[in-house]
Structure formats: structure tokens, C-alpha cells
Chains A and B, each alone.
Chain A
Amino acid sequence: MPVYRFPLTHIDAAEARRYAGLAKAGEAFPEEMITSACREGLLYAEGRAAWHSYSYDRNTATILANPVLSLEGRDIQNHLHEAEEVVLLAATIGPAIEQATEKCFADGHYTKGLLLDAVGTTAVEMVADKANRMIEEEAARRGYRATWRYSPGYGDWDVSVQKALLPLAGPSGLDISVTEGCMLQPQKSITAVIGLIPRHGNPESTDDTEPSEGNLKAANTESVSTDKEKDAHDIKGDKLICRKGCAACPKTDCIARKL
């Protein structure tokens, strides 16, 4: 389980804007403050990730690791219902950005603190994206396609799984730990599971490789309300399923959004 470090030569200002809650603010909020925070965030972020793949028994929803990990929660089980293997991923940008954020608040630079926090979230997602791409490329070479990455806390997958998940995903060299309250430290860290599904013919035929917002928290489904937004989704049972993927989805504040 080697630790990979990823170059971060920019941090996506549009994503940082979104994570800062400014998606709809437009020009009313100065772009320079966001790009400046992104630039400063690059000084603090050290993107690292590790992952490990395991066989997956979809009948019992069990990751065949040592020790085995049974997945509790209907949503995560649905997410992996076609998977033969899973990749457990852990990624972090280290603690420096949260320290800088705290200092900003202590010094009265509230806005910058808020923006740096959003930049940190953007950065760790970008690191996870880079790792995700390596995982997808490797899987594709073996005839698999990858599901989108699914993290503890999504849907009904309880965050208490972090304690069991992290050691299977990341080695100690990654310097991520889990608190008693099941939070990751450094805060700008993520764990996730990616399912690997055998490719059979047209890979576009299955919707479950895209974010299923209905699997996410209720708050996310409540805001999918306009006709335009509904167009981007199918309703399966009590779930909203993305048909077109993130690029076509108008729900810009979805926590699983990849773009």
C-alpha cells in the first residue's frame, strides 16, 4: 500500500466558490478573493493518497479484506451491487490548511478563513480525483469500470465505519487518523469506496456508475425540484438516480458532484 503524492498546480476556483456557498453569488462576491485563497491554499496543501483493492462479495455485501468488512446500509450495498472488487481509497492534504483557517478566524480574517476552508475541501477532492483516475485507468486495463466514489456518511452508510475502513485503505504513512467521534484527522481528508464492475458491452447502460443523489442525505433531494432538474434524474423507488452524470446535472450543490 504505497502512499502517492500528487502535484497540485492549481485549485479549482469555481469549486472553491461552490464549497464556500457562493455558487449563486455571481459577481457580487469578488473573484480575486477566491483566487487569492486558492493560491494561498496551494502553499498549505500537500496532496497524498493511498488505496488498496479487495475482492467483494456482493451477495453478502462483504469486502474480503483481512479482517473482512461487512457493509451496513442499503445505499452502499446498492451502490456496489454489481461490483466484483472494491478499491478503498484514503486521501488527504495534510493539516496545514486547517491550521491556517483557524489562525484566520483568531485574527479576525473571517472571510479568508471561510474561503480557505472551502479551498481545502476543493483541494482534497482534487487529490482524490487524481487518485480516482489512476484507479479507473488501472481498472479499465483489466476490463473493469469504476463506480463513483462513495464515502462514509453518504446516504445511510454510517460514519462509524471509518474506524474499520481507514486501516484497509491507507497505510500509517498517510498520517490520517480517526477520532473517537469517527472524524478523520487532518480534517481535510477523505475515505471512500470505489466499486469495480466488469465491463460487458456498452458501459453507458448502467446508471449506477453516476451519483445517485437519492442515496445522499434528504437535504439534497429536497432541493431537486424544478422541472429542469427533474429532467436530469430518474426516480427509482424512493431514489433519485442521475441519468446524465455530473456535467449535465443542474444540482450544483450536490455533495457527490464531481465537476
Chain B
Amino acid sequence: MIKIFDGAMGTMLQAAGLKPGACPEQFNLENPAAVTAIHRQYVEKGADIIETNTFGANRIKLSHYGLRDKVREICHAAVGAARAACNSDTKVAGSVGSTGKLIAPLGELSFDEAVDVFKEQIGAMAEAGVDYIIIETIIDIQEMRAALLAAKSVTDKPVICQLAFGSDGRTVTGTDPQTAAILLEAMGADIIGANCSLGPAQLLPVVQAMAEATDRPISIQPNAGMPELIQGKTVFPMQPDEFASWAPKLAEAGASIIGGCCGTTPEHIAAVAKALQAYTPKERPVSERAKTTALTSRSRTVFLGPAYPPVLIGERINPTGRKVLAAEIKSGSWQMVKKDALEQVQAGAGILDVNMGVPGIDQAQAMAEAVTELSMLIDVPLAIDTTDPAALEAGLKAYPGRALVNSVSAEPDRIKEFLPLAKKYGAAILCLPIGTDGVPQTAQERVEVARKVVEAALEAGFRRKDLLLDPLVLTVAADAEAAKETLNTLRLYRKEFGFPTVMGLSNVSFGLPCRPLVNAAFCTLALDAGLDAPILNPFDATLRDAMNAALVLLGHDKQGQSFSLKYSGASVTGATLGTGQGMPGAVGAGAGTASAMTGSTAVVAEEGDVLSKIRRAVIRGEKETIITLVKEAVEQAIPAIEITEQGLTAAMTEIGEAYGAGRVFLPQVMLAAETMRAAFQTLKTELPTQAVTSKGRVLMATVKGDIHDLGKNIVAALLENNGFTVIDLGKDVPAETIVAQAEAQQADIVGLCALMTTTLPEIDKTIAALKKAGVPSLTMAGGAVVNNEYATQAGADGYAPDAVSAVKLAQKLMQLKG
């Protein structure tokens, strides 16, 4: 049977006399009879569950009204007012809304303080005798986690968790309904749903997504459409009949509790009750997805199990054996951790393992900080890899998702300390078959030890889909049977438990040469034996290639479609394919080497003489190729001046013309300039005695007051790589400094740049100062707001609308100077 929730409270309170700006929750104290009367209307119209008037009855919200100390009093009065309106079978849900503050790092409220604030409110309502707790209209999953944790710590009453989703189907902080449902179910939410922000039509897909992701009952309380402001009052346009027409559709989609939020009235609820009278609810089948093990970040879900392709767990965020990383973590810097995270995800990791095991540091603090930083940076789920319970709790608390605990062994202390923490925060656990007797050797022994962890976890309230298994990987060089036992363990795990399996691979090859090859072979065997998530180094190309091939062979990559996309054209003659060629995930693949003009990767067997090749390499921005070509030209005894003029400068002229014609774009010109730079540097090294003559000395500056110097930097780079000597004074440079430096540096040309109208007059001022001081340099001006007319009136000798033009102008000015 579908349960009917009540509708809006705020608008009803206003109709009952609540003054604008007054505290709605204070009405419970001042006019409890009016509150009861509102509740009673809903009960009489068919509501099975009514919500207390306590949406903002937390001390943070109440402090706005000077009522910070009245939480308990208000909550008790509110529950009393609701209870007084009930029929014998009416239930009362204690309403808990947001504190109005986002939790750190998104906002400034600490997670612990949020939990404490919610505990106070929820504890008071539980004490006063509500039947449910309803946490509602929450826009951030971390605040929902805090409230749910608080509820679970102070009451055994069922908890309803309702988020507010936007029109894009996500909360404003990015959580989708599937991810929310999986995470909240894992944390113990009894009923999951959504309310507010949207009307029933927009919330229908939210219900569908949740129903697919969880076996929990689903509650839904839409607004009566999108509000309008009519004569200063917020009005919701959807009438009761139209609103109620959605109720059977919402029920069909999986909702079993339906009510209303903003703009709904007792009439809306009466219409919903009527619309559902004839509706016979069907038993909602539990979807396969809802039975599957899943991990989540704030905004993404990853499923694990035989029905899903194996997921790669990146192992790099681990200071063991990585001195530089350990030192960074110890110093409190997270740059390397973040870089490792981004690159592993780019390389194909679907989960990241996080280990902060640096001796001598506060691992709990480090774990909290690392997890916080990573949760802001990447959207794949995390595995918290630690043996320290304090670090585990710190990581789980900070993480706005459902993490994997890596790992829980059969050792009594570990079971006692880790299981409650994982349960509390809704994490999945990796069961490790190591007991007090150490590492079991045979597959059967490992199954029996793992069974102890599994049984302890199930007894502690974990669901089967919370559990993953590690088969243990020992070194094959020390024990010839080690790999086979691991593979046998994987097979037995699948037969005995059917849980997803996870293991680190690299131990197997310890002590052997060519370890990546051994690891790769082992990985493919393990995948066939039932491994769902290998923990490995995603940058190991051999492993990755082997895994990609295994995905085809095991039927996860249907007809090898992904494989074909990745490997079409790859070489098969080398020792490994792992060069990154053709692989989108390859770190650094093609960076800085691809052609600016054609996108091709290298100049191979180019036609023509070496100077032509040099010219083409510059145009294509092929930095690596140019070095070889310049050396080749030097070997052919071509003079530096000839290489410069007929090869390099000719290329820059050509690309400049292409830029002017709109055939190439500025970054491509800059690639060519970089290539020129590499060529000049090679020439300098190869022919130190044949110095290339400077085409002129150009002093560049962004004028005083102007802090944007990207444009000036681009001009300087192009001038420098077209043979000019550039003296770059930087940005925000006063006129007097420019004058002094132009004299001291004997500049042929002074280039001035201004971006903003506010700094434009500094160009006039500087040119005037140069003239007054009798500096013989010619001047050129440019920048976003400069035009030819302005440059002329300022007395500049030339105006350059862009960097390529600046090079031409400088050449022209040098001709003028004679």
C-alpha cells in the first residue's frame, strides 16, 4: 500500500498568521493549536504520515532568531502539536532540514560540528516520540551523511533521507540519484527519496533511478510546479488534480510514500489520496543492480562483479618505496598525490587506492587531508588503505562517497576495530584471509580464513554486497605453487561466496627479471579465474595492454570494439605495445610532439633537402624532429646563417602568413616558435662560433597598473624566435623604469602593451617620457584595447594588432632605423 505524506507547512503557517520574517518553528511554542490545526487538515485529507514543524529547528538556523538554546523545547512542542492531530494510525515524522551551511571543504562548517548540530535536534525529537526521522531538502550529500550519522547515533527510529535535485538530475553539489541511493542505503537509511526544487514530472526519473539502485522504499514529495511571484507572494501554479495525476506514475516508478512539498496544500494531498485509492501497488522487484557491489564518489558509481568489466584500482598513492612522495606527504604538500591521482585516472583507473603510511606523521590527519583533496579533484571512488583505525575513520569521515576499506583481516583486533567503522560510514570491505596464524598457504585454507571475516561482517550487519575478497598473492620465485594457489583461491571464492575479488598483482613477480611481463601474464590468468579488480600501476603499459586484450578474450569488450579503437595501427613487432601509441589513456601520449598543422606524429622519410625538412618541421611544431634535422644540416656543413634564413625564418614567415590568412591559429604559431627555440639552441650548441646575428634589441613591457602580461609574453616569444634579442621587463612597469632600461640596454625598439582601458594612458605617458628623455628607441604598442588610432595619437612608431604582426612591425622598424 502506498503511504501518503502531508504537504507544505510554511505557506500554511503564513495563512495561520505567521508574520513574514518570523521564525516558523517558534510557532510551535507560541501557537501550538494553530500548528495542530494544520496537521489535522492533512490528516483529515488522507495523510498517513505528518511531518513536524521542525525543518529549521537546528541551533544554527535558530540562532538567526536568537533561539539557539531552544532546540529541545521547540522540538518537543512540535512533536506534541503533531501528535495532537493524529488519528490512531497516523505516524509522525520529525523533520530535519539543512543547517543552511555547506560542510568543509565546500563550505566552512566542519563535519563534526554538523553531526553535533543534527544530533541535538534529532535526539530531541526522538525523545519526544516521533515515529520516523525525515532528513529532507538536502542539497549536499556530505550534509546528508552528517545528518544520517547523527540520526543513527541517537535513535533507532527509521530514517527517511530525501535530497533536493536540480533540473539536471543532480544535487547542486553534483550527486546523482543512483549514487545517492547506493551511498545512503549503505549508511543505513531506511527510506530514500527526494523532495522540493522540482515538480512531479521532473522527479519521476529521479524515482526511477533510485528504484533501480536500491531495495529501500522510496519516498517522494514534489513541489506543486515551479513557483511564481504574484504581487510579492510566492505562488506555486500546479493545481491539486494535475499534481495528483502524477501520483500513480510516481508509484509505478517505485515510490511507496508520496506527498507534497512547497506549494502543496491539504487539497493536493486529498487529491493524491483519491488518485491512489484505485491504484494497486505491485511488489517492486529488486533489480540486479541493487544487488550488486558498488562503490561511489560524490558524483559517480562504480559497480564490481562478474557481470561488469574488471575495474582497475590505481596503486600509486602509496609512499611505500617512494621517497619523494613520502617527503611531500610529510611536508603537508598534496601536489604529487593530486598529480598521481589525475594521471592514474587518465590512464584508466576506475578506483584509487590511498595509503598514507609515512612513518612519523599523524596518519589520521594525512588521510583526512588526502581524501578531502582527492574528493575535490577526481570523481572515481577511493579505497582507504590503512592498518590504523584512526586513519581509517578520518578517511571515511572525510569522504563524500562509499569507499572500499582495504582491508579487514581475520585478526580479532582488526575485526573489532575496522568493521564498526566501515559499517558506520557505509563502506565496503575487502576481506583478507590472514588470521592469527599468519598467511594460509593453500586455497582451501584461505577460503576458511576469509569465511571468518565474512561471517563476522554479516553478524555485524553488513550485507553480502558490502563484501569483497582478496585471494592473497605470494611470490612465485619463492614458492612455485604461489601463483596457482592464488588462482585456485579466486575460483573457490567465486564458487563459495560469489563476492567481487580484489588483489594486488605485483608481489607475484618479486625477484624475477622483466616483472611487468610476469605481472601481465598473471593478470590475464587471474581475470579468467574470477578477479574483478586488480590493484596495479596503471602506468605499466604491458599490464594495461594485457588487460585490454583479456577484456576481449573474456567477452567484456564485445567483438573487441574498444580494443580495435585503441590499438588500430599499433605496432606488433616490439617487445611491448605499451608505447602509448593509439591509446587514449596513455600518459603523455603525443604531448608536444604532434604536428601543429596536420596532427601527424612525426616526420618520417620526408621528401626534399634538409632545409626544406627543417622548414616543414618548424611549421608543424615538431620539437624533437627539429633537433635531429639541425644536427643533420650542420653535418652537411650548411652555415648557421643559411639554416636560419632558409630553414627557420622562412618557416616562421610562412606560418605567419598562414596565421594572417586564418589558416592556422595562435597556439600553432607558438608551437612553431617553440620549435624555433629548440632549433636555435641546437645551433648554438653545434656551431658556437657561428653566432647568429641579432635582428635588433627589443625591450618589452606591460605598462604600469597592468598585471596581465600574456599578450606581451606571446609577442616576446615570437620576437625572440624570429631572431630578435628581447629584454622583457615584465608587467606593471612604470614609465621611468622603461626609460632607464631602454637607455641602459640600448634598445632599438620599445614594445608597450596594455590590456585595460584603465591602463591605456600609461602608453601615452611612457612614450612621452621616452621622447622627453631623448631615448632613440622606436616604439610599438599593442594590447586588447589598443588600436591604430590610439597608438598614433600616443606617438608610437607603430601598432601591432597581434603577435605575428608585431614581428613584421619590428622588422619594418629595424629597416627604418637603417
Chain A contact residues, CB within 8 Å of chain B: 2-10, 20-22, 24-25, 27-30, 32-33, 36, 39, 42-43, 101-102, 105, 108-115, 117, 130, 133-134, 137, 140-144, 158-160, 179-183, 185, 187, 198-201, 203
Contact = CB atoms under 8 A, between A and B. Distances in A.
Contacts of B692: none
Interface string B360-389: 000000000000000111110000000000
Contacts of B664: 25, 28
A144 B227 CA distance: 8
B591 A114 contact: no
A105 B720 CA distance: 12
B166 interface: yes
Contacts of A109: 674
B694 interface: no
Nearest to A142: B234
Given A111-B674, A180-B705, A140 B226 contact: yes
B66 interface: no
Contacts of A158: 757
A30 B674 contact: no
Contact of A9 (B299, B594, B716, B757): B299
A21 B666 contact: yes
A137 B759 CA distance: 38
Contacts of A20: 665-667
Contacts of B677: 108
B197 interface: yes
27 contacts: A2-B107, A4-B107, A5-B105, A7-B174, A7-B376, A9-B378, A21-B666, A24-B665, A25-B664, A29-B599, A30-B599, A32-B589, A33-B594, A36-B591, A39-B343, A43-B342, A108-B677, A133-B166, A140-B227, A141-B227, A179-B705, A181-B756, A183-B756, A183-B758, A198-B229, A199-B227, A203-B226
B29 interface: no
Contact of A43 (B172, B338, B673): B338
A10 B378 CA distance: 8
A32 B591 CA distance: 6
Contacts of B595: 30
Contact of A2 (B108, B235, B599): B108
A4 B102 contact: yes
Contacts of B299: 7, 9
A162 B396 CA distance: 42
The interface centre, meaning the residue of B166, B197, B229, B342 with most chain A CB atoms within 10 A of its CB, is B229
A160 B597 CA distance: 42
Contact of A182 (B108, B376, B756): B756
Contacts of A32: 589-591, 594
Contacts of B716: 105
B665 to A, nearest CB: 5
Interface residues of B, number: 72
Contacts of B234: 142-143
Contacts of A133: 166, 172
A5 B376 CA distance: 9
A199 B197 CA distance: 15
A29 B705 contact: no
A108 B716 CA distance: 11
A7 B197 contact: no
The interface centre, meaning the residue of A5, A9, A133 with most chain B CB atoms within 10 A of its CB, is A9
Given A28-B599, A29-B668, A32-B589, A5 B705 contact: no
B717 interface: yes
Interface in B700-746: 705-710, 713-714, 716-717
B205 interface: no
Given A109-B674, A140-B227, A183-B708, 17 more contacts: A4-B107, A9-B378, A10-B379, A21-B667, A24-B662, A25-B667, A28-B599, A30-B599, A36-B591, A110-B713, A111-B592, A114-B666, A115-B667, A133-B172, A137-B166, A143-B229, A183-B755
A137 B172 contact: yes
B377 A42 contact: yes
A185 B756 CA distance: 14
Nearest to B678: A108
B196 interface: yes
B713 A102 contact: yes
B384 to A, nearest CB: 19
B125 interface: no
Given A7-B375, A28-B599, A111-B621, A181 B228 contact: no
Given A28-B598, A101-B710, A7 B298 contact: yes
Contacts of B571: none
A25 B665 contact: yes
A125 B670 CA distance: 25
A142 B227 contact: yes
A132 B716 CA distance: 37
The interface centre, meaning the residue of A39, A111, A143 with most chain B CB atoms within 10 A of its CB, is A111
A117 B298 contact: no
A144 B717 CA distance: 49
A4 B706 CA distance: 29
A181 B590 contact: no
Contacts of A143: 227-229, 234-235
Contacts of A142: 227, 229, 234
Given A9-B378, A111-B621, A200 B674 contact: no
B710 A114 contact: yes
Contacts of A134: 139, 172
Contacts of A25: 664-665, 667-668
Nearest to A184: B707
B596 interface: yes
Nearest to A130: B172
A111 B668 CA distance: 8
Contact of A7 (B262, B338, B377): B377
A108 B674 contact: yes
Nearest to B378: A9
B230 interface: yes
Interface string B170-200: 0011100000000000000000000011000
B226 A3 contact: no
Given A9-B377, A25-B664, A110 B621 contact: no
A32 B596 CA distance: 12
Given A108-B677, A142-B234, A198-B228, A22 B106 contact: no
Contact of B757 (A113, A159, A203): A159
B298 A179 contact: no
Contacts of A42: 338, 342, 377
B665 A110 contact: no
A110 B299 CA distance: 35
B320 interface: no
The interface centre, meaning the residue of B105, B595, B758 with most chain A CB atoms within 10 A of its CB, is B758
Contact of B226 (A6, A9, A199): A199
B339 A28 contact: no
Contacts of A140: 197, 226-227
The interface centre, meaning the residue of B677, B705, B707 with most chain A CB atoms within 10 A of its CB, is B707
A139 B615 CA distance: 58
Contact of A113 (B197, B298, B713): B713
Contacts of B709: 102
Contacts of B671: 110-111
Nearest to B171: A137
Contacts of B379: 9-10
Contacts of A7: 106, 173-174, 298-299, 375-377
A199 B755 CA distance: 39
B491 interface: no
Contacts of A39: 342-343, 346
B101 interface: yes
A5 B595 CA distance: 38
Contacts of B346: 39
Contact of A110 (B342, B377, B670): B670
A8 B262 contact: no
Contacts of B105: 5
